[in-house]
């Protein structure tokens, strides 16, 4: 009954609106009701362009990953390029935490395909022998997505309730420190480092451990 859209709707427009809702309010903010308001349209119009919510989330994820994959410069030598690509993914998922949960859902989607291609290609350029290339790429991709997803989960918790990162870390670190050193020697000892650590640095340290391990495959 209200006025009809004059400009045509499209999947791109819907995905763009979905990304805005997700970035602003997290995964729970993406509802078809919010979308219809945002786009001043009806449910059917949206369903005419996307199959369902899952399809919409996947398309939004593809979008974010694709822009990382095309945006990152890789004219550096393979080792440095790998670190750059990994950091690019880390930062993108940090900026769009909802991507983290999505990536592990449908590994055959364009998003992950591009990631495998880029990382596999760079490992090849690094001189990893062909027989080990598939396993090495799989392991590295999974590490990158695993950490990034975990980090995104933390980011989600922070935006929801907690005041700020350092206060949150201090709280968890205090819990770790309070644990019985007899039963939890490692976690107890690690509490100080937990409080002070930088997620990005630790992520990169892991990438380096990986690359060092891969170097032994030669």
Give min distance, CB of 44 to its own copies, in A.
25
Give min distance, CB of 120 to its own copies, in A.
3
Can you tell me which of 17, 18, 41, 207 binds DNA, judged by CB under 7 A? Answer: 41
Can you tell me which of 76, 175, 178, 181 binds its own copies, judged by CB under 8 A? Answer: 175
Residue 37 lies near DNA (rule: CB under 7 A): no
H or E segment and range at residue 214: helix 199-215
Q: Comparing C-alpha atoms, which of 148, 62, 53 is closest to residue 109?
A: 62
Q: 17-36: which residues touch DNA (CB under 7 A)?
A: 30-34
Give min distance, CB of 18 to DNA, in A.
10
Can you tell me which of 116, 158, 177, 195 binds its own copies, judged by CB under 8 A? Answer: 116
**Which entry of its own copies, DNA, none binds 45, CB below 5 to 8 A by partner kind?**
DNA
Q: Which residue has the tokens 């990152």?
A: 72
**Which entry of its own copies, DNA, none binds 2, CB below 5 to 8 A by partner kind?**
DNA
Structure tokens at 191: 């509490």
Give min distance, CB of 209 to DNA, in A.
39
Can you tell me which of 16, 20, 45, 101 binds DNA, judged by CB under 7 A? Answer: 45
Structure tokens at 177: 């420190």
Structure tokens at 162: 């907690």
Residue 158 lies near its own copies (rule: CB under 8 A): no
**Which entry of DNA, its own copies, none binds 43, CB below 5 to 8 A by partner kind?**
DNA
Structure tokens at 140: 């590295």
- Residues 105, 58: contact at Cβ < 8 Å? yes
Residue 107 lies near its own copies (rule: CB under 8 A): yes
Structure tokens at 68: 């990382």
Cα 95 to Cα 151: distance, rounded to the nearest angstrom: 10
Cα 50 to Cα 35: distance, rounded to the nearest angstrom: 12
Residue 139 lies near its own copies (rule: CB under 8 A): yes
Query: How many chain residues touch its own copies (CB under 8 A)?
Result: 56
Cα 201 to Cα 206: distance, rounded to the nearest angstrom: 9
CA–CA distances in Å: residue 98 to residues 19, 137, 173, 183: 9, 24, 26, 35
**Which entry of its own copies, DNA, none binds 31, CB below 5 to 8 A by partner kind?**
DNA
E strand residue ranges, 53-170: none
Residues in contact with DNA by the rule CB under 7 A: 1-2, 4-5, 8-9, 30-34, 40-45, 47-49, 52-54
């Amino acid at each position: 009954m209200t006025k009809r859209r004059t400009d045509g709707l499209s999947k791109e427009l819907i995905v763009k609106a979905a990304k805005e809702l997700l970035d602003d309010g997290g995964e729970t903010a993406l509802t078809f009701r919010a979308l219809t308001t945002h786009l001043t349209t009806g449910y059917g119009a949206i369903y005419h362009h996307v199959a369902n919510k899952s399809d919409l989330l996947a398309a939004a994820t593809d979008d974010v990953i694709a822009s990382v994959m095309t945006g990152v410069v890789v004219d550096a030598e393979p080792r440095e390029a790998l670190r750059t690509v990994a950091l690019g993914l880390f930062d993108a998922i940090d900026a769009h935490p909802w991507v983290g949960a999505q990536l592990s859902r449908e590994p055959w989607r364009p998003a992950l395909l591009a990631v495998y291609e880029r990382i596999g290609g760079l490992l090849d350029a690094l001189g990893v022998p062909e027989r080990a290339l598939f396993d090495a790429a799989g392991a590295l991709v999974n590490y990158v997505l695993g950490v990034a997803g975990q980090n995104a989960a933390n980011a989600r918790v922070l935006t929801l309730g907690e005041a700020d990162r350092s206060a949150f870390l201090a709280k968890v670190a205090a819990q770790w420190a309070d644990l019985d050193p007899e039963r939890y020697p490692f976690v107890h000892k690690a509490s100080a480092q937990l409080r002070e650590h930088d997620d990005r640095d630790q992520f990169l340290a892991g990438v380096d451990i990986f690359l060092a391990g891969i170097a032994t495959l030669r």
